[in-house]
Every structure is written in structure tokens, then in C-alpha cells.
């Protein structure tokens, strides 16, 4: 029975799967960046071997590599995405490149008996040289040159992608200013077959040291064999310092003689005789032979490493499908719990409830994102999600419980502007309704004026009231109309059959004049009452002629009636 593969390890936002490559100090694993709102990305994560992770000097070299590569921005250098430290172990997150190392590609070509085409070799070499030049020219945040020297340029550290781009990687032993780890005197770092003579002799290394190593890679790719080899390390060192270097065209018929002088100058044992920069060597190669197009280079990689890439693609697809449901369900649970907390409900805190039942949590996302409180349907879905069985996702994918105080505070802060806006709209609507009500209200009718006039005490006889004495009468104004005529005597109460409302609704009744406009600080004149109908009010007019015993003229002054003296 085949054992189940180990579950991915979660570190921060990343899921770390099994290794895809391994070297002397570290291994490279497939990884998955799981972000918010369903964002995800496949990455490569480099970690030290367990037996080396506890060594402080080696651990510092991995941290140095991350900081150095972060300062290099070039398409021919594998980019560093992030640096993680957990339980005193460092992890370097890099971009994932679908491709294969140049070392494996050259071995596959030799196994087929097909030498690497010269345009392919030239294109790969020039890409690596341009990436090297970018590293040599890198500067710190303050603008100071970092003085980076890779010191480990080799076919194993050249990654050729199916996108037709060659990339340089592994700056773990690179020399640079400000490194945490330093090379002790007499200590060799790098691969002996690709070291320059000054590097073997532990002398000062410069960018020309990397030019020598790139020259070795170019020579071996053209000639199809190792340049400096030997039975042991001593023999290799002797070959680097003393062995005669033949031109590649003398060993491989397909190698053009135009490249011989270029390669031999790059391999000068005296550093001053080499190309001063990697860019100068790349320009010389580009001028000597045509370069393969990115499409041709990508097809060559797929032809030689198709089976390996297919197996790796299957692993990547498995990782992506395993983590596809995790971010969306977690994000939906966080939104739901935050809304429930804002509505005063108890939020579920079990991690299993946040990581399961993605369908129940992701329904109607607009309601969860815009409503300041949780709808009843969403609260029912949350209860169902809490009782749902656990899914097949790894436990590492579950997000932290959303009842954290910071998340609840964030949800309340997001809904507070909506509440303020709703309250403002409510107040504005109320003000508009009140204004419309008062604007439609008509002036009081004659019966209101009669009741108002009857409530005023009679003035003393033979005395004319001054204008300021009328301040107790209510102001009755008709908007935009002229002042009314003097008020007629009020009529006694009439039966319901002859009341005013039917009379006012009659189309033949003449409209009453609007009341006079009151002067500032003076009593507004009492509105004139409509004369009673002759048929219904003639008998009562004589008896109530002196009620009230005065009239009001256009200026608002009360004048006593002569017949009432």
C-alpha cells in the first residue's frame, strides 16, 4: 500500500510541499502563496538541510542571499519574493520558473548524441552574462555599490525556462558588502572546476572572476565535455592553474571558430587579460554568432526535459487544486463572522467552522460586503457552516479565527460610514417632508378668523387703537397676495346643512381677498370673514351686528361701529 504523501507545511501565507531539487547546502521545494480574496501563486522555496540549519554561519548565508538578490532587478536573475523565519529556520521564497537547469539539459543532449546547437548555447550564455552584469552593478538603498561577486557561476546554477529565458540563481556564497557571514582566510567557496585561478589561490575576487566562470560554462557547452577535471581535488586545482586550454572548435566540429578567440580571452588566467565586464563578453558573443529566439530556446528545453516537466506540472496542479478552496472559504468566513460580531451576535471561534462548507459561506457575497449588519439568511448559513463536517483540506489552510479583536474592529470601522450616511439621508428626507407639508398648508378660512376675532376683548369706547396695540392678533398672510378688505361682521353659528365648506366649494362664490400683510413689530390684522349667505344668515345678522363691535381697516386699526356705541 502506497503511503499518503505528507501534508504541506504552512508558514505564514505559504504552503511548502516536497522538494524538486537539492544541493550540497539546501533544497528547493514547491510552494504556494495563499493570499486574500482568492489570490494565490506557485513559488519555489529554498531551505537549508536540517543538519545545516542549526549552524549560525550557514543560516546567515541564506539570509544574505535573500537580501542580495532583492537588490537585483533583472529578467535573467531568478527573483526573490519573500524571506521567512520560523522556529529559527529561514526560508527564501523565489519565483517559480517552469524549466530545467543547464547541467541537466547538457547531459540529456549528450545522452542523445545531439550536441547543443550553437545559437542555443550563445543565447543561454548571453542571458546569464547580462544577469551577471546586473548583479555586479547592484547598489544598496543608500546608492552605494554592493560589489557583488557571484563566485559560483556553473551549469547547475543556470535555469533555462520554457519561456525562452535563461536565469542565474543561487547567490548563497556571493561576496557583497554588508554580509552577515564572511569568508575566512584560506577558505574556498564554489565549485573547483569553475573557479578562477585567483579564487583557487584565495586571492581577491572581482567581477572578472565571474567572467572566467562564465567562460568555462561557454567552453563546456560548445565542446560537449568538462574543461577542468581530475581524479581528486588536487588534480582539479592543478588543471585550473596550469592545464593548457584548447579552443572549443578543435574538439567539436559544430563549434564555430569565430567564438574561439572570445572564449579563450574570457579564460585568461591573468584577470587583467579578460573582458572587464560580463556585459562586454555578452556583446562579443552576440556580434560573433546569431542567437536563438526565445521560442526556439523554449522548444529545445521542452524537447529535452519534457518528461521531467510533465511530472513536475502534475505536482504543481495537485498543489494548486488542493489549495484552491482554502482562501475563498476562509475569506467568506472572516466576512461572515465580522458582520455577526457587528450585529451583536456571538461569532463562532472554532477553526473548523471557518475552513469548511465553502458553499454556505460564499453565497450572496454582496450582502456580506455591503450590509452593515448580518442578514437573517446569512446568520442561518453561519450556523449550518459551524455544524458542517470537516473538508479534505489540510489543517494548515484554515485561517486564524475571525473573532480576533482587530478583525472585528475593522468590520465595525467599515460599516460605521454606512450608518452615518443612512442617518443623514433619514434626517434630510424628514426635513423635506416637513417643508413640503407646510408649503401645501392653506391660509385659515373665515371660520378660523371669526373664532380668532371673538377671542379678543372689546376695546374701550370712543378710543382709536394704535398700530402697536394690535400685536396680539395672529398674523394671517396669503403668500404673494394683496392685503384684504376690512372684515365684515361675524355671523352666528349656522346649521350643518348651511356650513361654510359647501359654500366655499361652490364655483359661483367670489374668492375672499387675502389678509393684509402685517408691518414689522405690529399686530397683523384679523382676516376678513366671508359674508354669510343671504338665505341662511339674514335673520341672525341683525342680532349679532355688534359682535364684534368694531371693524379693522386696511392699516390694521380697529374702529368702533357707530350703531354699537
Q: State pLDDT tens for residues 294-308.
A: 999 999 999 999 999
The predicted model gives 368-392 an average pLDDT of: 42
Q: How buried is 169 (Cβ within 10 angstroms: 0-12 exposed, 13-18 middle, 19+ buried)?
A: buried
Domain ranges in the chain?
1-96, 98-292, 318-415, 461-470+546-565
The predicted-structure confidence for 29-48, as pLDDT tens digits, reads as follows 999 998 888 888 999 999 98
Q: Annotated catalytic residue: which of 17, 64, 152, 170? A: 152
Strands (E), 2-134: 9-11, 14-22, 26-34, 40-48, 80-86, 89-95, 99-101
User: Which residue did the predictor score with more confidence, 186 or 280?
Assistant: 280
More confidently predicted of 14 and 361: 14
- pLDDT above 80: residue 325: no
Residue 368 has pLDDT above 50, yes or no: no
Rounded mean pLDDT, 94-119:
95
pLDDT of residue 563: 76
Note the pLDDT of residue 224.
Answer: 94
pLDDT at 485: 44
Predicted pLDDT of residue 322 = 76
pLDDT value at position 121? 98
Confidence of residue 275 (pLDDT cuts 50, 70, 90): very high
Tens of pLDDT, residue by residue over 493-507, are 444 444 444 444 444
Report residue 524's pLDDT band, with 50, 70 and 90 as the boundaries.
low
Q: Alpha-carbon distance 382 to 539, whole Å? A: 81
- The answer on pLDDT for 396 being more than 50 is no
Q: Which three cell numbers stand for residue 16?
A: 511548502
Average pLDDT over residues 434-445: 65
Euclidean distance between CA atoms 282 and 293, whole angstroms: 16
Q: What pTM, to 2 d.p., does this model score?
A: 0.58
| Domain 1-96: CATH architecture, name and number where available | 2-Layer Sandwich (3.30)
> For residue 148, is pLDDT > 90?
yes
Task: Judge whether 117 and 300 are in contact, CB under 8 Å.
Answer: yes
Of 263-267, 324-328, 333-337, 375-379, highest mean pLDDT: 263-267
Query: Out of 9-18, 133-142, 554-563, which region has the weakest mean confidence (pLDDT)?
Result: 554-563
Average pLDDT of span 379-399: 41
Q: Residue 346 pLDDT more than 90?
A: no
**Higher-confidence residue: 321 or 232?**
232
Q: What number is the average pLDDT over the span 103-121?
A: 95
| pLDDT reading at 141 higher than 80 | yes
Mean pLDDT of 470-486: 43
Q: Which three cell numbers stand for residue 349?
A: 471561534
Between 177 and 353, the more confident residue is 177
Buried-state track 29-64, b at ≥16 Cβ within 10 A, e below 16: bbbbbbeeeeebbbbbbbbbeeebbeeeebbebbbb
pLDDT at res. 65:
87
Is 408:342 a contact under the CB 8 Å cutoff?
yes
Q: Higher-confidence residue: 150 or 512?
A: 150
152 included as an active-site residue: yes
Residue 443 has what pLDDT? 55
Question: Bigger pLDDT: 563 or 14?
Answer: 14
Q: Which fold has domain 98-292?
A: Transferase(Phosphotransferase); domain 1 (1.10.510)
Please answer whether residues 179 and 152 qualify as being in contact, where contact means their C-beta atoms are separated by less than 8 angstroms. no
pLDDT confidence of 55, banded at 50, 70, 90? confident
pLDDT in tens, 446-464: 555 555 555 544 444 444 4
Over 70: is that where the pLDDT of 392 sits? Answer: no
Q: Is the pLDDT of residue 382 over 70?
A: no
Mention every residue, 6+ apart, whose C-beta is less than 8 A from residue 509.
503, 530
Residues forming beta bridges with residue 389, ordered by sequence position: none
pLDDT of residue 60: 84
Other C-beta atoms lying within 10 Å of the C-beta of residue 177: 11
- Per the model's pLDDT, the better-predicted residue between 258 and 506 turns out to be 258
Amino acid at each position: 500500500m502506497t503511503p499518503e504523501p505528507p501534508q504541506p507545511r504552512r508558514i505564514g501565507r505559504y504552503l511548502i510541499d516536497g522538494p524538486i531539487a537539492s544541493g550540497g547546502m539546501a533544497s528547493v521545494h514547491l510552494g504556494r502563496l495563499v493570499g486574500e480574496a482568492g489570490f494565490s501563486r506557485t513559488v519555489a522555496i529554498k531551505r537549508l538541510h536540517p543538519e545545516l540549519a542549526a549552524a549560525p554561519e550557514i543560516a546567515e548565508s541564506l539570509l544574505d542571499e535573500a537580501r542580495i538578490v532583492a537588490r537585483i532587478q533583472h529578467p535573467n536573475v531568478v527573483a526573490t519574493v519573500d524571506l521567512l523565519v520560523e522556529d529559527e529556520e529561514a526560508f527564501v521564497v523565489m519565483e517559480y520558473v517552469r524549466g530545467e537547469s543547464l547541467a541537466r539539459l547538457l547531459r540529456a543532449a549528450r545522452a542523445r548524441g545531439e550536441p547543443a546547437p550553437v545559437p542555443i548555447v550563445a543565447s543561454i550564455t548571453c542571458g546569464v552574462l547580462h544577469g551577471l552584469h546586473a548583479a555586479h552593478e547592484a547598489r544598496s538603498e543608500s546608492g552605494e555599490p554592493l560589489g557583488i561577486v557571484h563566485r559560483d557561476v556553473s551549469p547547475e546554477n543556470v535555469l533555462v525556462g520554457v519561456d525562452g529565458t535563461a536565469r542565474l540563481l543561487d547567490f548563497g556564497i556571493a561576496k557583497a558588502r554588508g554580509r552577515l557571514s564572511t569568508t575566512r582566510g584560506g577558505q574556498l567557496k564554489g565549485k573547483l572546476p569553475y573557479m578562477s585561478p585567483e579564487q583557487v589561490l584565495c586571492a581577491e575576487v572581482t567581477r572578472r572572476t565571474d567572467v572566467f566562470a562564465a567562460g568555462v560554462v561557454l567552453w563546456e557547452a560548445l565542446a560537449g565535455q568538462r574543461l577542468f577535471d581530475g581524479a581528486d581535488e588536487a588534480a582539479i586545482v592543478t588543471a585550473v592553474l596550469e592545464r593548457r586550454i584548447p579552443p572549443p572548435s578543435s574538439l567539436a566540429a559544430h563549434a564555430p571558430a569565430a567564438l574561439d578567440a572570445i572564449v579563450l580571452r574570457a579564460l585568461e588566467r591573468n584577470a587583467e587579460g579578460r573582458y572587464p565586464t560580463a556585459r562586454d563578453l555578452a556583446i562579443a558573443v552576440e556580434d560573433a554568432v546569431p542567437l536563438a529566439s526565445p521560442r526556439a530556446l523554449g522548444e529545445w528545453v521542452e524537447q529535452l526535459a519534457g518528461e521531467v516537466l510533465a511530472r513536475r506540472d502534475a505536482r504543481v496542479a495537485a498543489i494548486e487544486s488542493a489549495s484552491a478552496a482554502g482562501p475563498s472559504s476562509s475569506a467568506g468566513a472572516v466576512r461572515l463572522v465580522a458582520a455577526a460580531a457587528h450585529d451583536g451576535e456571538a461569532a463562532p471561534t472554532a477553526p473548523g467552522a471557518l475552513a469548511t462548507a465553502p458553499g454556505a459561506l460564499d453565497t450572496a457575497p454582496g450582502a456580506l460586503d455591503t450590509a452593515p449588519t448580518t442578514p437573517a439568511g446569512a446568520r442561518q448559513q453561519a450556523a449550518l457552516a459551524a455544524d458542517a463536517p470537516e473538508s479534505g483540506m489540510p489543517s494548515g489552510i484554515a485561517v486564524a479565527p475571525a473573532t480576533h479583536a482587530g478583525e472585528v474592529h475593522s468590520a465595525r470601522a467599515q460599516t460605521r460610514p454606512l450608518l452615518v450616511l443612512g442617518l443623514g439621508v433619514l434626517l434630510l428626507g424628514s426635513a423635506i417632508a416637513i417643508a413640503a407639508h407646510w408649503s401645501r398648508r392653506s391660509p385659515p378660512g373665515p371660520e378660523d378668523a371669526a373664532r380668532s376675532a371673538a377671542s379678543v376683548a372689546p376695546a374701550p369706547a370712543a378710543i382709536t387703537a394704535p398700530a402697536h396695540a394690535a400685536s396680539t392678533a395672529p398674523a394671517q398672510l396669503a403668500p404673494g397676495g394683496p392685503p384684504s378688505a376690512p372684515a365684515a361682521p361675524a355671523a352666528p353659528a349656522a346649521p350643518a346643512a348651511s356650513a361654510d365648506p359647501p359654500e366655499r366649494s361652490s364655483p359661483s362664490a367670489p374668492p375672499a381677498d387675502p389678509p393684509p400683510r402685517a408691518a414689522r413689530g405690529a399686530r397683523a390684522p384679523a382676516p376678513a370673514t366671508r359674508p354669510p349667505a343671504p338665505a341662511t344668515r339674514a335673520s341672525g345678522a341683525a342680532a349679532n351686528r355688534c359682535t364684534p363691535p368694531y371693524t379693522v381697516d386696511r392699516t390694521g386699526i380697529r374702529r368702533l361701529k357707530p350703531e354699537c356705541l
